[in-house]
Amino acid sequence: MKLFFLMLSVSTALFATSCRKESTTAAPDTFEVMQPIVQNISYQKEYVAEIQSVRYVEVRSRVKGYVEQVHVDEGQVVQEGQLLFTISSKIFSYELQKAQAAVKNALADLQSAQLELTNTRSLVEKNIVSKAELKMIEAKVDALKASVEEAEAHKEQAALNVSFSKIRAPYKGIINRLAHKLGSLIDEGDMLTSISDNREVFAYFNLSEADYLNYLASNKEEARHVNLVLANQTRYQHPGNIEIIESEFDRSTGNIAFRARFPNPDKILKHGANGKIIVTEQFANAMLIPQKSTFEIQDKLYAFVMNKDSVIEQRNIVTKMRLPHYFVVESGLKQDETIIYEGVQNAKNGNKILPKRVEANTIVSALGAN
């Protein structure tokens, strides 16, 4: 009899446990759900930039010699045409004098030959000399004309060398470091200094192919306006504008170069400085979902989409870009569909859930604006 009651108790316990399991399985789990947020968005991206003067030139010597005089100092503002350096020019002056004398000699020889040609033509008309002799004199005159032209060319070259000994500023700018001091022997092509015109500067920065395409897809008129963050992390007070995009990608990096122009009235920006360009891009009617509403499987992004029967389906989502707390959806999801907002790690594909809808303004308040 005891055994009978014991077996009855065990059976009752097993039956009760089975009922509890069936009851637990039958009750769906509650999940917060939402629809994608659709709104106009703007976001900022930073790119390392190199600052260059709008006009920057290396001043080099075009002749060999000694630096006789230095007429400027480092950091000095110079005007266009102002004398900067004087290179020893005595040898060039001597060469010019020799060239001038050579021109005079060539002209004298030509005049003498032209008189001889005139006399020979008169004698040919009187049949005193032959026409062959006349042709010889004409050839001599032509050769002397060529000699005059050659002498003139040598004279011009010597005059250029004399002028090259006086080195002047090509435009208004600031003198940078002096590479050679007074008395230094320099060769042709040696750099003496450089001049920067910093009234405006260029900022060069590179975008990846994806960022480049996003830039083109955004409101380009707004995106053209950029800001600059200086090396000390302060924002430069004058905004700039993107002017030029290069025509091809760098094969080694996969990037494409942009150029922005900035005014520099206070001369804060210097040639060779570094900073960060801030590009603000805007997209109209972008579809956003929180990052916490997604999960990855083998480098693919997924979300749980709920159908009208409250059954969830695991679906691959293709995103256009990543923002703080959000993804911008490109495909895989429609605006009127519903996804699990939070707790995707506890959801299972094909399960029925008890949805608890969360409004967009609540999500924005919790996560912040994009």
Predicted confidence (pLDDT) per residue in 166-175, tens digit: 999 999 999 9
> pTM for the complete prediction?
0.64
Strands (E) in the chain, as ranges, are 29-34, 37-60, 65-70, 77-78, 83-87, 166-168, 173-175, 185-186, 191-208, 225-229, 240-245, 255-263, 274-290, 295-297, 300-306, 312-316, 318-323, 326-331, 338-342, 353-357
Residue 200, C-beta contacts closer than 8 angstroms, at least 6 positions apart: 54, 261, 262, 263, 264
pLDDT at residue 21, rounded to an integer: 47
Average pLDDT over residues 145-151: 86
Fold of 30-41+286-367: 2.40.420
Fold of 89-164: Helix Hairpins (1.10.287)
Residue 236, C-beta contacts closer than 8 angstroms, at least 6 positions apart: 227, 228, 229, 230, 262, 268, 269, 275
Residue 310 has pLDDT above 80, yes or no: yes
Domain with CATH 2.40.420.20 in the chain: 30-41+286-367
Average pLDDT over residues 134-161: 84
Tell which wins on pLDDT, 312 or 164: 312
pLDDT at residue 18, rounded to an integer: 52
Average pLDDT over residues 187-215: 92
Alpha-carbon gap, residue 174 to 194, rounded angstroms = 8
Alpha-carbon gap, residue 59 to 321, rounded angstroms = 47
| Cα–Cα nearest to 321, from 34, 42, 35, 33 | 42
Average pLDDT over residues 212-237: 85
Alpha-carbon gap, residue 79 to 171, rounded angstroms = 6
Residue 191 has pLDDT above 80, yes or no: yes
The CATH architecture of the domain made up of 62-87+168-189 is Beta Barrel (2.40)
| pLDDT, mean over the chain | 86
Domain with CATH 1.10.287 in the chain: 89-164
CATH code of 44-54+200-282, in short, is: 2.40.30.170
Taken in order 359, 365, 367, 369, is the CA torsion positive or negative? positive
Q: Is the distance from CB of 39 to CB of 361 less than 8 angstroms?
A: no
Residue 58 has pLDDT above 50, yes or no: yes
User: Residue 344 — very low, low, confident or very high, per pLDDT cuts 50/70/90?
Assistant: very high
pLDDT at residue 368, rounded to an integer: 67
The DSSP result for 221-255, as a single string, is HHHTEEEEE-TTSPBPSS-EEEEEE-SS--TTT-E
Domain with CATH 2.40.30.170 in the chain: 44-54+200-282
Residue 317 has pLDDT above 80, yes or no: yes
pLDDT at residue 12, rounded to an integer: 53
Ramachandran area for residue 114 (φ above 0: left; ψ -120 to 50: alpha; else beta): alpha
Half-sphere exposure of 57 (CA within 13 A, CB side): 12
Tell which wins on pLDDT, 113 or 124: 113
pLDDT at residue 94, rounded to an integer: 78
- Percent of the chain surpassing pLDDT 70: 91
Residue 211 has pLDDT above 50, yes or no: yes
What's the token pair of residue 265?
């009235």
The DSSP result for 182-197, as a single string, is TT-EE-TT-EEEEEEE
